[in-house]
Amino acid sequence: MAERLEAQQRTNRGLSYRMFGEIADPADGPDDPALPAEVKVRDLLWARLRITRGEIRRRFCVAARIRPRRTLTGPTLPPELPALGAAVEAGDVGEDHITAVTRALDELPAAVSSADRDDAERRLVGYATKQDAKFVTVIGNKIADCLNPDGNFTDEDRARRRSLVLGRQRADGMSRISGFLDPEARAYLEAVTAAVRPGHRLPETPAGRAADERDTRSSAQRCHDALKRALRYGISSGKLGTHRGVPVTVIVTTTLGELDQAARAICDPGVEMPAPARTGGGSRLPMRDLIRMAAESMHYLAVFADHSARPLYLGRSKRIATTDQRIICYARDRGCTRPDCPESGYRSEVHHALDWARGGTTDADNLFFGCPPDHAAATRGDYLTTVTKEARLAWSDGTGPPRVNHIHHPEELLGDEEDP
Ligand SMILES: [Zn+2]
């Protein structure tokens, strides 16, 4: 019974990929926002299937590689990976096999001939129909060693493999980072790490401690401090340009009460340190770090009256109206305002609640954050948006009452005013 269920599941997965292949736009620009039809289909799938946009994109990508390729003109082309496509269609391989085979083929260097590549695909799929995905990965590594015994990799191979993944912030405020640096990035990191050699450039020298005091940092800690130092200098140089109209810098929001309490806590150990402030990326920044950062370079700091969206103070290096309005969006909305959308402020655009074309002004009370797909959907009229009396943007798709997004306001998620 278990075997039959597994086979059934694999057959269904094959049918799913066939369906994704059928509905994909033949003009096939995976992330091209200029294709409203495809964007519409993706939005529809996302809303109806309740799977993530990333998963939808992944299924379209796999379908595009294992299904026959349609062209706008001319005949249908065979799939890029015909052997894998046939095995998926027959229900002989599972999702983990598909991942193992495509990853092994993608790892092959660009210098490998297409005949060798096709042969490798057939062999990998052959093993995938008889063994588990782990075994397929091992075989994939062996094939790569065989086809590229001298380890010849081109610049394109390296460009394809470079990656840096910033993990989610843990409860203690730390974040795991992992990935692969290309030789140039490594050269830079080595250079800045060498500059924080033992005994030099302590990250911070608290009062009463000499700068030449013995440095007890491990090499891993020095590498971390070097990267932090390089990023800080990069940001304070002001040469990183602008991001959506605001100079690239750290944006932090807090309330006056918390800032005041933090300032007292630093001087008086009897005062409790308030909860961390929030960055435009949606992460938590301890108040002690915020005050130190604000003292040494120009970041954007928005301070709010307690329990309200009324800005009291905007610290900034230069006064630009649009910049101020965007910072108010960071502070009030923290991220996309569509209900249940988790996109952070750094990834949001400014949406005019009352459309510009219909007489909307650019006053901050009329401007709200929306991530690019939601902003586009609201502009198209897929949603009706209204401003609540708390000066928040409420969205409705016509099937229910307008709702505001609580995702970026965890204190509201646990409130009992509204069901999720
Ligand atoms: Zn959104």
Interval between CA 263 and ligand 1 midpoint (Å): 35
What percent of the chain has a predicted confidence (pLDDT) above 90? Answer: 26
pLDDT band at 170 (very low <50, low <70, confident <90, very high): very high
Supply 202's token pair: 């302590």
Classified as helix, coil or strand, 137 is helix
Amino acid at position 18, single letter? R
Q: How far is the CA of 60 from the centre of ligand 1 (A)?
A: 21
Confidence of residue 316 (pLDDT cuts 50, 70, 90): very low
**What percentage of the chain reaches a pLDDT higher than 70?**
79
* 129, 93 Cβ separation under 8 angstroms: yes
| pLDDT for 321 | 47
- The least confident of 95-104, 113-122, 205-214 is 205-214
Cα 269-275-277 angle, rounded to 5 deg? 115
Nearest alpha carbon to residue 283 among 314, 252, 308 = 252
Within 268-419, strands assigned E span: 277-279, 284-285, 300-304, 311-315, 349-352, 367-370, 384-387, 393-396
**Cβ partners under 8 Å of residue 319, min gap 6:** none
pLDDT at residue number 298 = 56
pLDDT, one tens digit per residue, over 265-310 is 877 888 888 888 888 888 888 988 887 787 666 566 666 655 555 5
Pairing between β-strand 393-396 and β-strand 277-279 as defined by DSSP bridges: unpaired
The length of the chain is 420
More confident position, 314 or 274: 274
Report whether 277 contacts 253 (CB < 8 A): yes
Query: pLDDT for 127-145, tens place per residue?
Result: 999 999 999 999 998 998 8
Give the tens place of pLDDT for each residue, 14-65: 999 998 888 875 444 444 555 556 667 888 888 888 888 889 889 989 998 9
The residue assigned the tokens 């016509």 is 398
- Between 47 and 394, residue with greater pLDDT: 394
C-alpha span between 151 and 392 (Å, rounded): 57
Q: For residue 27, what pLDDT is reported?
A: 47
Give me ligand 1 centre to Cα 223, in Å.
36
Rounded distance from Cα 385 to ligand 1 centre (Å)? 13
CA of 341 relative to ligand 1 center, distance in Å: 5
Question: Is the pLDDT assigned to residue 353 strictly greater than 80?
Answer: no
- Termini Cα distance of the chain: 39
Out of 84-98, 100-114, 285-299, 381-395, the most confident range is 84-98
CA of 201 to the centre of ligand 1 (A): 42
Ligand 1 mean position to 380 CA, how many Å? 14
Distance, CA 79 to ligand 1 centroid (Å)? 34
Predicted confidence at residue 419, as pLDDT, reads 45
Q: How confident is the model at residue 416 (pLDDT cuts 50, 70, 90)?
A: low
pLDDT attached to residue 207: 46
Can you tell me the distance from the alpha carbon of 59 to that of 70, in angstroms, rounded to the nearest whole number?
A: 17
Answer whether residue 85 shows pLDDT above 60.
yes
Q: Are 131 and 123 in contact (CB under 8 A)?
A: no
Q: Picking from 68-82, 128-142, 168-182, 301-315, which range would have the lowest pLDDT averaged per residue?
A: 301-315
C-alpha span between 209 and 413 (Å, rounded): 45
What is the C-alpha separation between 225 and 221, in angstroms, rounded? 6
Q: Cβ atoms within 10 A of the Cβ of 418, count?
A: 12
Q: Per-residue b/e over 163-176, b at no fewer than 16 CB within 10 Å?
A: eeeeeebeeeeeee
Which pLDDT value is given to residue 107? Answer: 84
Ligand 1 centroid–CA 420 distance in Å is 16
| Average pLDDT of the chain, as a whole number | 80
Assessment of whether the complete model's pTM goes beyond 0.75: no
Describe the crossing of helices 114-128 and 133-147 by its angle, rounded to 10 degrees.
160
For the chain, the farthest-separated pair of C-alpha atoms sits apart, in whole angstroms, at: 78
Q: Where is pLDDT greater, at 147 or 28? A: 147
